[in-house]
Amino acid sequence: MQDLKVLDAGNSGAPGEPGVPGGRGVVSRRGLFDGRIMRVAAVEALRKLDPRVQIKNPVMFVVLIGTVITLFEAIAHPSVFSWSVMVWLLLTVLFANFAEAMAEGRGKAQADTLRKTRTQTDARRLRPDGTEERVAAGDLSLGDTVVCEAGDVIPSDGEIIEGAASVDESAITGESAPVIRESGGDRSAVTGGTRVLSDRIVVRITAEPGKTFLDRMISLVEGARRQKTPNEIALTILLSALTLIFIPVVVVLQPFAQFAGGQVEVVILIALIVCLIPTTIGALLSAIGIAGMDRLVQHNVLAMSGRAVEAAGDVQTLLLDKTGTITMGNRMASEFYPVGGCSEQDLAGAAQLASLADETPEGRSIVVLAKERCGLRERDLGPDHVFVPFSANTRMSGLDTDGRRIRKGAADAVKRWVTEQGGTLPDELDPIVERISRAGATPLVVADQARVFGVIELKDVVKEGIAERFAELRGVGIRTVMVTGDNPLTAAAIAQEAGVDDYLAEATPDAKMRLIKAEQEGGKLVAMTGDGTNDAPALAQADVGVAMNTGTTAAKEAGNMVDLDSNPTKLIEIVEIGKQLLMTRGALTTFSIANDVAKYFAIIPALFVGTYPQLDGLNIMGLHSPQSAVLSAVIFNALVIIALIPLALRGVRFRPSGATAILRRNVLVYGLGGLIVPFIGIKLIDLILTALGAY
Task: Answer yes or no: is 396 a known binding residue.
Answer: yes
DSSP letters along 122-181, please?
EEEEEPTTS-EEEEEGGG--TT-EEEEETTPBP-S-EEEEEEEEEEE-HHHH---S-EEE
Which of 335-369 are b and which e, b meaning 16 or more Cβ less than 10 Å from the residue's Cβ? ebbbbbebebebbbbbbbbbbbbbeebbbbbbbbb
Chain-centroid distance of CA 630 in Å reads 44
The separation between the first and the last C-alpha atoms of the chain, rounded to the nearest angstrom, is 97
β-pairing verdict for 195-196 and 158-168: antiparallel
Task: Answer yes or no: is 393 a known binding residue.
Answer: yes
Helix-helix angle 230-251:306-313, to 10 degrees: 90
Distances (CA, A) of 556 to 328, 545, 562: 24, 9, 6
Q: How far apart are CA 34 and CA 113, in angstroms?
A: 15
Task: Answer yes or no: is 332 a known binding residue.
Answer: no
Neighbours of 142 (CB within 10 A): 13
CB 491 within 8 A of CB 437: no
Task: Answer yes or no: is 391 a known binding residue.
Answer: yes
**Catalytic residue selected from 321, 448, 565, 596:** 321
Task: Answer yes or no: is 358 a known binding residue.
Answer: yes
Cα angle vertex 471, ends 465, 474, to 5°?
A: 145
Task: Answer yes or no: is 395 a known binding residue.
Answer: yes
CB 160 within 8 A of CB 203: yes
Q: How far apart are CA 410 and CA 444, in angstroms?
A: 5
CB 397 within 8 A of CB 407: yes
Q: How far apart are CA 181 and CA 168, in angstroms?
A: 10
Task: Answer yes or no: is 362 a known binding residue.
Answer: yes
CB 645 within 8 A of CB 286: no
The closest of 222, 132, 135, 148 to 191, measured between CA atoms, is 148
Task: Give catalytic status of residue 294 as yes or no.
Answer: no
Task: Answer yes or no: is 394 a known binding residue.
Answer: yes
DSSP letters along 35-97, please?
HHHHHHHHHHHHHTTSHHHHTTSHHHHHHHHHHHHHHHHHHHS--HHHHHHHHHHHHHHHHHH
Sign of CA dihedral 406, 412, 413, 417: positive
Q: How far apart are CA 688 and CA 665, in angstroms?
A: 33
Task: Answer yes or no: is 408 a known binding residue.
Answer: yes
Query: Binding site membership for ATP: which residues?
Result: 358, 362, 390-397, 408
Q: Which residues are annotated as a binding site?
A: 358, 362, 390-397, 408, 531, 535
Active-site amino acid positions: 321
* Known binding-site positions for Mg(2+): 531, 535
